Amino acid sequence: MKPYRVLIFDWDGTLADSTAQIVQGVQNSFCRFGWPPPAEADIRATIGLSLREALRRLCPQLDQQQTEAAIRAYQHEFHHHREQTVLFPDAGNTLQRLQQHYWLAVATGKGRRGLDAALNETDTRSLFLATRTVDECASKPQPEMVLSICDELGVHPAEALVIGDTTHDLHMAHNARSSAIALTTGAHTPAQLQTAPHLAMLDGLTSLAAWLAE
């Protein structure tokens, strides 16, 4: 097994098959106000960022009051109208296998309430020694989530491997001086992922387990 001490996973699009759900939630939130919904490709490009940062990039013309209204609308959509969180089919078994060799953690653009709900729905809370959200740390691609997890677990950032499906995850790892693996299972295309630093680009969690075992 490769000599990392902690594997830090993104959540949406990496462990959870939730990219389409997020796109629909953002578009529905805009429609509630009669605003033209952003295009799917534009929303996918912002997945992994904090909701506030995503809205700033999607609609820079929104004022503060409109931004706050859009955030509340999305949160309402997420907590009251979405389907239950579903992991990728190979996620549960792969995490349990990896837990035998590594500490596991999560760094996500979700808020704490959203991540806690997802962990409960997927019965995965016990697998992770540490979790960070944008409620505790700066949004990706800032390195704070990785650095905070490493500090809690007493490991050097070089001993952490970040796994994510967006360039935001990969740049976060680079900014923390950690390594990263890109997965093609989520929001960003292989061409987009290729623009950010990573050790390997893999097609899913099963391939990640095989790569780590090499």
Q: What is the pLDDT of residues 143-166, one digit of tens each?
A: 999 999 999 999 999 999 999 999
pLDDT digits (tens, 9 = 90+) for 24-36: 888 888 888 888 8
* Active-site residue, 10 included: yes
User: Taking the mean position of all CA atoms in its chain, how far away is CA 205?
Assistant: 14
Sheet holding 6-9, edge to edge: 130-132, 103-107, 6-9, 160-164, 179-183, 200-202
Query: Residue 114 burial by CB count (10 A; 0-12/13-18/19+): exposed, middle or buried?
Result: buried
- Is 120 a residue whose pLDDT tops 90? yes
What confidence tier does 82 reach under pLDDT thresholds 50, 70, 90?
low
Q: Which of 10, 17, 42, 63 is catalytic?
A: 10
pLDDT digits (tens, 9 = 90+) for 44-78: 999 888 888 888 888 888 888 888 888 888 887 77
| DSSP conformation class of 134 | T
Rg (CA), the chain: 17
At 200 the three-state DSSP class reads strand
Tell me how far apart the alpha carbons of residues 130 and 166 are, in angstroms, rounded to a whole number: 21
Q: Which of 12, 63, 90, 123 is catalytic?
A: 12
- Is 81 a residue whose pLDDT tops 80? no
pLDDT digits (tens, 9 = 90+) for 7-22: 999 999 999 998 888 8
Backbone φ and ψ for 8, nearest 5 degrees, come out as -110, 110
- Joined together, the tokens standing for residue 184 give 């093609």
Q: Which residue has the tokens 């490769």?
A: 2
With a CB cutoff of 8 Å and minimum separation 6, the contacts of 201 are 181, 182, 183, 184, 190, 193, 194
User: Taking the mean position of all CA atoms in its chain, how far away is CA 20?
Assistant: 14
- Joined together, the tokens standing for residue 9 give 């996973």
* Active-site residue, 165 included: no
Q: Which domains does the chain have, with CATH numbers?
A: 6-17+85-213 (3.40.50.1000), 19-81 (1.10.150)
Average pLDDT of the chain is 92
- Is 83 a residue whose pLDDT tops 80? no
Tell me how far apart the alpha carbons of residues 33 and 180 are, in angstroms, rounded to a whole number: 39
In the chain, what percentage of residues exceed pLDDT 90?
A: 69
Asked if 118 and 47 touch (Cβ cutoff 8 Å), the reply is no
Beta carbons within 10 angstroms of residue 95's beta carbon: 21
- Joined together, the tokens standing for residue 166 give 């967006």
